[in-house]
Structure 1
Amino acid sequence: MPEVLINGPAGRLEGRYTHGKLANAPVALLLHPHPQHGGTMSNKIVFTLYQAFTKRGYSALRFNFRGVGRSQGAYDKGEGELADAAAALDWLQTYNPNASLCWIAGVSFGSWIGMQLLMRRPEIDGFITVSPPANMFDFSFLAPCPSSGLIVHGDKDELVPNAAVQKLVNKLSHQKDIRIDHRVVPGANHFFLNRTDELAREVDDYLDRALGNPLAAVAE
């Protein structure tokens, strides 16, 4: 899991990267929670998602948004962070020009950034969004949502009411040819404290179904 430095719009971005073994290994980009509320690429949910992809042979990248850790720059209310995510995806694609698939996964604030990137980058095939802050940020740009994906949150989320997430799920689920798998983890709060194992099982099950090849030969 080597450290990498990426040239971002506001300077260096600090990341961790695992390169897939296959020449056409799929890629995944992982986005962390809010920079001003302790969010970093070392967040336990981000790491759980990272492992879900790397054990399936993906080339996976997680990184710190501007102003977090050793990443240069300062928080930019989402606009700059979206530019950071785009630069990180560019970097990932540069090192994986023949990637067979491209996925994006985000946690809380990172899910909001990830879904915006999804709208701008047609090469993204699928998404995972964990604890989407549907009551705090505007998700109306998802009209229509271009890809199917997983939305998962906890029924004890103290920051985002279940109703707000359900409203988002309902909106996306009504779009033609888009399949939203919505899962609720009992007892989990916004950051899945003591519930990351349950989250990992839900993500693994979803990816097995979506990809059709549960932990196949890519791990050998």
Structure 2
Amino acid sequence: MPEVIFPGPEGRLEGRYHPQKDRDAPIAIVLHPHPQFGGTMNNKIVYNLHYAFYNMGFTVLRFNFRGVGRSQGEYDQGIGELSDAASALDYLQSMNNNSKHCWVAGFSFGAWIGMQLLMRRPEITGFISVSPPANMYDFSFLAPCPASGLIINGGADRVAPPADTTTLVSKLQEQKGITVTHDEVPGAGHFFSEGDQMENMIGTVSDYVKRRLTETSR
């Protein structure tokens, strides 16, 4: 999988780009957790999401937000990171002009950024939000949420408590025209790090995305 460097708002951004042979392949970007708490594109959940999408036939890009790894710039409270994500999507689209489907996936802080990107980019057809920190960040900008997607969290998450995630999902499910699916992995913490929790979470994500792709191809 080639390492790539592409232009961002504050200089270069470092990524991993995994293209399919099929020129019409759907595309996805994967966004990593909080840069100030050790979040990088090599986070285990981000890595596993990346390969899950690739194995389903997507051309995939994950990258480091500004100030992480070889990406230039400094942490910017989510504002600059949203611009980074937009630049990453621009880069991915520039090399995949024929793609009919565009997905965004994010973990924790990356889920918050991904949902904001969803509001800005009408071409995004689906989203995956893993462990969205609804207790720390305001998600009220999702009014209305423009695309259907999956929110998945751990039942024993102490970083982003399940009750806050359930409240967020309930608000989104009231909206017409889209379907927000919610799944909770029993006993899992924020990082799905015990036993087969990671496998279960990735399996749920894959089943959901495959179902959506089947529905849209009819």
TM-score (norm 2): 0.96
How far off its partner does 1:208 sit? Answer: 2.0
Q: Deviations over 1:21-42 (max 9, x none)?
A: 1111110010000000010000
2:90 aligned residue: 90
What are the within-5 Å matches in structure 2 for residues 26-175 of structure 1?
26-175=26-175
List runs of 5+ in structure 1 lacking aligned partners: 214-220
Structure 2 contact 103–124 (Cα < 8 Å) conserved = yes
Query: Match of 1:42, as an amino acid?
Result: N
Deviates more, 1:86-95 or 1:192-201: 192-201
Q: Deviations over 1:78-133 (max 9, x none)?
A: 00000000000000000001111000000000010000000000000000000000
1:201 aligned residue: 203
Query: Match of 1:187, as an amino acid?
Result: G
1:21 aligns with 2:21: yes
List runs of 5+ in structure 2 lacking aligned partners: none
CA distance in 1, matches of 2:146, 2:166: 19
CA distance in 1, matches of 2:21, 2:177: 32
Query: Match of 1:204, as an amino acid?
Result: S
1:188 aligned residue: 188
CA distance in 2, matches of 1:144, 1:119: 9
CA distance in 1, matches of 2:140, 2:4: 34
Q: What secondary structure does 2:136 align onto?
A: coil
Q: What secondary structure does 2:60 align onto?
A: strand
Structure 1 contact 21–57 (Cα < 8 Å) conserved = no
How far off its partner does 1:47 sit? Answer: 1.0
Q: What secondary structure does 1:212 align onto?
A: helix
Structure 1 contact 44–196 (Cα < 8 Å) conserved = no
Deviates more, 1:122-131 or 1:180-189: 180-189
CA distance in 2, matches of 1:125, 1:21: 21
Q: Count matched residues.
A: 213
Q: What secondary structure does 1:86 align onto?
A: helix
TM-score (norm 1): 0.95
Structure 2 contact 56–206 (Cα < 8 Å) conserved = no
> Once superposed, what is the RMSD of the aligned Cα atoms?
0.9
Identity of aligned residues (%): 62
CA distance in 2, matches of 1:183, 1:5: 35
Query: Match of 1:202, as an amino acid?
Result: T
Runs of 4+ in 1 over 6 A off after TM superposition: none
Query: Match of 1:156, as an amino acid?
Result: A
Q: Deviations over 1:160-205 (max 9, x none)?
A: 1111000110011111011111000012111111321111111111
